[in-house]
């Protein structure tokens, strides 16, 4: 099994100053992936599986405090154990988190301790300045450095690409922009050359923009599944979990599911920009919970009747709205499960104390 130095995995002074929280038999390791209560860690001896210690489970009921990809942890693992035990999580140097849809505002961790976040947009279907600006805010908010990656340049003319870059610069955005094609490979070496050993790069962006494809190209083999996009250029959420991988040159990359999967739709996605006319109308409906299908006083249906908005536009809006609602519902159900699980843990703890 490969051996690693902690420095190669991104260890630095920030974490070293906290190493006092590890126990005698613990060693330091980094979270490469999270699968429910199981963690894939990478440390000096290489990759190994681990679980949270019981004590850590109670303390980390808040989603943001649970270990996520990129975290540094103290873990105890002897050769005969199948799983290591995580005793502590280091304070994060940077965080990447996104707002959950809903009120009050809640956050979901995307990754921890990433140095750079590569914001990916496909210049053919996905390019959107407003969304790019929101991503930039999200990245800077957590302390990482943003980079901008435009993919699929094989699908547009060079002057159209130049116009997009010009649009980015005109908006006062000064971050590095790399443009590439995974088909012709133009620009791939350019991206590779800016990835530094020991640094961690997290790729974010809509589904189908080519995140996994470019990461596979950087790794040199297909470890991340990719899939064709539909005719409309809409992705299909091929990647379902976050995973940190090591490149040959020593840089680390984290793949992510497309942001739609994470529920950006509605809150931060294109729906707002593309349907601002319908949303403005919807705010004038008589009922606050109007579904715009049959209610009296519905401003959206009224505009549809008068031909002020097209039937296609209305249909697409309703389709997206349904999709977004389905996501929010499943999200609420998931949270309920998390709460029930928290109660279960508490009751077990209480039983133990009562004994």
Ligand X SMILES: Nc1nc2c(ncn2[C@@H]2O[C@H](COP(=O)(O)OP(=O)(O)OP(=O)(O)O)[C@@H](O)[C@H]2O)c(=O)[nH]1
Nearer to ligand X, 56 or 212 (CB): 212
With CB under 5 A as the contact rule, the residue among 290, 304, 309, 320 that binds Zn ion is 290
Decide: is 35 part of the binding site for ligand X (CB under 6 A): no
Nearer to ligand X, 59 or 154 (CB): 154
Q: Is residue 94 a contact partner of residue 144, using CB atoms and an 8 Å limit?
A: yes
Judged by CB under 6 A, the stretch of 64-72, 87-95, 175-183, 346-354 that binds ligand X is 175-183
The least distance separating ligand X from the CB of residue 34, rounded to whole angstroms, comes to: 17
DSSP string of 36-96?
TTEEEEEETTEEEEEEE-HHHHHHT-SGGGS--TT-EEEEE--TT-SSEEEEEEPPPSSEE
Nearest to 180 by CA among 193, 170, 168, 171: 193
Nearer to Zn ion, 221 or 288 (CB): 288
**Total residues binding ligand X (CB under 6 A):** 25
Say if strands 252-255 and 243-246 run parallel, antiparallel, or are unpaired: antiparallel
Judged by CB under 5 A, the stretch of 162-170, 193-201, 234-242, 267-275 that binds Mg ion is 234-242
**C-alpha separations of 71 from 52, 134, 268 in Å:** 13, 24, 26
228: three-class secondary structure by DSSP = coil
Nearer to Zn ion, 40 or 320 (CB): 320
Decide: is 213 part of the binding site for Mg ion (CB under 5 A): no
With CB under 6 A as the contact rule, the residue among 199, 227, 313, 335 that binds ligand X is 227
Please, which residues have CB within 8 angstroms of residue 34's CB and are 6 or more apart in sequence? 40, 66, 67, 68, 69, 241, 242
The pair of structure tokens assigned to 40 is 């894939």
The least distance separating Mg ion from the CB of residue 69, rounded to whole angstroms, comes to: 14
Measure the CA–CA gap between 325 and 271, rounded to whole angstroms. Answer: 13
Nearer to ligand X, 34 or 89 (CB): 34
**Total residues binding Zn ion (CB under 5 A):** 5
Decide: is 188 part of the binding site for ligand X (CB under 6 A): no
With CB under 6 A as the contact rule, the residue among 146, 208, 263, 266 that binds ligand X is 208
Measure the CA–CA gap between 122 and 100, rounded to whole angstroms. Answer: 24
The pair of structure tokens assigned to 59 is 């303390």
Considering only residues 238 to 257 of the shown chain, the ones binding ligand X according to CB under 6 A are: 238-239, 257
Residues that bind ligand X (CB under 6 A): 151-152, 154-155, 181-183, 207-213, 226-229, 235-239, 257-258
Sites of contact with Zn ion (CB under 5 A): 285, 290, 292, 298, 300
């Amino acid at each position: 099994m490969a051996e690693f130095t902690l420095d190669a995995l991104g260890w630095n002074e920030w974490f070293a100053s906290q190493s006092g929280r590890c126990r005698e038999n613990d060693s330091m390791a980094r979270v490469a992936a999270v699968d429910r209560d199981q963690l894939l860690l990478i440390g000096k001896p290489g990759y190994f599986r681990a679980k949270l210690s019981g004590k850590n489970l109670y303390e980390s009921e808040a989603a943001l405090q649970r270990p996520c990809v990129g975290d540094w942890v103290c873990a105890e693992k002897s050769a005969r154990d199948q799983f290591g035990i995580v005793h502590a999580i280091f304070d994060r140097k940077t965080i990447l988190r996104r707002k959950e849809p809903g009120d009050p505002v809640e956050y979901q961790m995307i990754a921890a301790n990433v140095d750079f976040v590569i914001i990916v947009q496909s210049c053919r279907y996905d390019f959107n300045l407003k969304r790019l600006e929101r991503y930039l805010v999200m990245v800077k908010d957590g302390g990482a450095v943003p980079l901008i990656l435009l993919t699929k340049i094989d699908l547009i003319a060079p002057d159209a690409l130049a116009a997009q870059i010009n649009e980015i610069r005109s908006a006062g955005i000064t971050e590095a922009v790399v443009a590439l094609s995974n088909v012709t490979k133009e620009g791939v070496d350019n991206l590779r050359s800016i990835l530094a050993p020991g640094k961690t790069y997290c790729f974010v962006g809509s589904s189908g923009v080519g995140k996994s494809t470019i990461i596979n190209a950087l790794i040199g083999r297909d470890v991340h599944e990719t899939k064709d996009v539909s005719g409309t250029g809409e992705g299909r959420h091929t990647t379902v979990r976050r995973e940190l991988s090591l490149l040959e040159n020593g840089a680390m990359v984290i793949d992510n599911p497309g942001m739609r999967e994470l529920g950006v739709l509605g809150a931060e996605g294109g729906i707002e920009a593309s349907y601002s006319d319908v949303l403005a109308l919807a705010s004038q409906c008589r009922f606050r919970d109007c579904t715009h299908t049959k209610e009296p006083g519905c401003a959206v249906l009224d505009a549809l009747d008068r031909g002020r908005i097209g039937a296609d536009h209305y249909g697409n809006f309703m389709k997206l709205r349904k999709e977004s609602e389905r996501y929010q519902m499943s999200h609420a159900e998931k949270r309920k499960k998390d709460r029930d699980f928290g109660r279960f843990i508490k009751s077990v703890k209480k039983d133990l104390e009562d004994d």
